[in-house]
């Protein structure tokens, strides 16, 4: 299972979805553009899988992109907001958490989980030997899925790197600001009273995501054959989702108590980078 916390780091090339690949202007990065580029990457990969499977003599129906019910990005209740322009709304947190379980564990339809009935029906229509050959062609070590993923990474590599550099510069500007350091200290104090430990506000979602996948790893192993993997019980998913939503609510409430001058900090960071 792909870790959802990787979502933002990989998809930070989103600004390239609406501008040339050599542009790294800070104002080009928004949560909406991140989603847009994720869709482009997904569709590119699916097209390559279908082409590869056709060469192997099998049908494959490209899966449609479907974003989760939440933004999939911590605090991004407004998808058109700039990167790091976060709200951490308590009501949103109580419903969606950080988007980890929703996007990664089938709590809402996503491209990672939403396999169409066409591919499932086609696979089931094959005889046993054909089905084994189909699985090897699609999911083998050198199968079409692996090949398509490598091609997608290569296709978007430069844009990912360019915007990732801009995002890191923004993050550095924000976290080095004395006003943010005070906000962070106040937030840590609030979270500590609730039993949480984290290095920074902007990294707390990774703490929660890591814990979710640590618990998940105790239930299933990714290196096992697909047929032998543990089918997650609905109650287990509910427990993980409850944990995530509780963490997100604590985060949002402490953010509300401590955020203070953050809007000015963000404006100054963007201004310094020409955004």
For the segment 111-162, what is each residue's pLDDT rounded down to a tens digit?
Answer: 444 445 789 899 999 999 999 999 999 999 999 999 999 999 999 988 878 7
Count of CB atoms situated within 10 Å of the CB of 60: 22
- What phi and psi, each to the nearest 5 degrees, are found at residue 215? -65, -40
Q: What single-letter DSSP state applies at residue 27?
A: G
pTM confidence score: 0.64
Strand partners, 30: 82
Q: What does the pLDDT read at residue 9?
A: 36
225-251 pLDDT, tens digit each: 444 444 567 788 888 889 999 999 999
- Cβ–Cβ under 8 Å, residues 90 and 257: no
Locate tokens 């169409």: which residue? 116
174-183 mean pLDDT: 94
**DSSP helix/strand/coil, 229:** coil
- The yes-or-no verdict on residue 178 having pLDDT over 90 is yes
- The yes-or-no verdict on residue 186 having pLDDT over 60 is yes
Percent with pLDDT over 70 in the chain: 74
**DSSP helix/strand/coil, 82:** strand
48-101 pLDDT, tens digit each: 999 999 999 999 999 887 655 444 444 555 667 788 887 778 888 898 888 888
Count of CB atoms situated within 10 Å of the CB of 20: 10
Question: Rounded mean pLDDT of the chain?
Answer: 77
**DSSP helix/strand/coil, 22:** coil
Q: What does the pLDDT read at residue 264?
A: 94
Residue 217 to residue 206: CA distance in whole angstroms: 16
31: CB partners within 8 A, 6+ apart: 71, 73, 76, 78, 79, 80, 81, 83
- Cβ–Cβ under 8 Å, residues 115 and 65: no
């Amino acid at each position: 299972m792909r870790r959802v916390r990787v979502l933002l780091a990989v998809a930070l090339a989103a600004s390239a979805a609406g501008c040339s690949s050599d542009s790294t202007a800070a104002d080009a990065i928004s949560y909406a553009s991140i989603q847009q580029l994720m869709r482009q990457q997904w569709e590119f990969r699916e097209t390559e899988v279908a082409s590869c499977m056709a060469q192997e003599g099998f049908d494959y129906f490209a899966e449609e992109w479907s974003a989760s019910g939440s933004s999939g990005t911590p605090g991004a209740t407004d998808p058109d907001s700039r990167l790091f322009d976060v709200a951490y709304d308590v009501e949103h947190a109580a419903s969606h958490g950080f988007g980890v379980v929703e996007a990664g564990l089938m709590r809402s339809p996503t491209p990672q989980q939403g396999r169409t009935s066409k591919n499932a029906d086609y696979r089931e229509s094959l005889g046993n030997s054909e089905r084994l050959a189909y699985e090897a062609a699609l999911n083998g070590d050198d199968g079409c899925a692996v090949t398509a993923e490598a091609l997608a990474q290569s296709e978007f590599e430069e844009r990912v790197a360019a915007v990732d550099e801009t995002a890191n510069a923004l993050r550095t500007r924000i976290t080095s600001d004395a006003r943010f350091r005070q906000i962070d200290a106040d937030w840590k104090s609030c979270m500590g009273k609730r039993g949480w430990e984290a290095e920074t506000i902007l990294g707390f979602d990774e703490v929660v995501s890591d814990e979710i996948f640590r618990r998940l790893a105790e239930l299933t192993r990714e290196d096992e054959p697909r047929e032998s993997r543990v089918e997650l019980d609905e109650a287990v998913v509910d427990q993980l989702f409850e944990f995530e939503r509780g963490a997100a609510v604590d985060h949002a409430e402490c953010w509300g108590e401590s955020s203070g001058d953050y809007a000015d900090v963000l404006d100054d960071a963007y201004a310094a980078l020409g955004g």
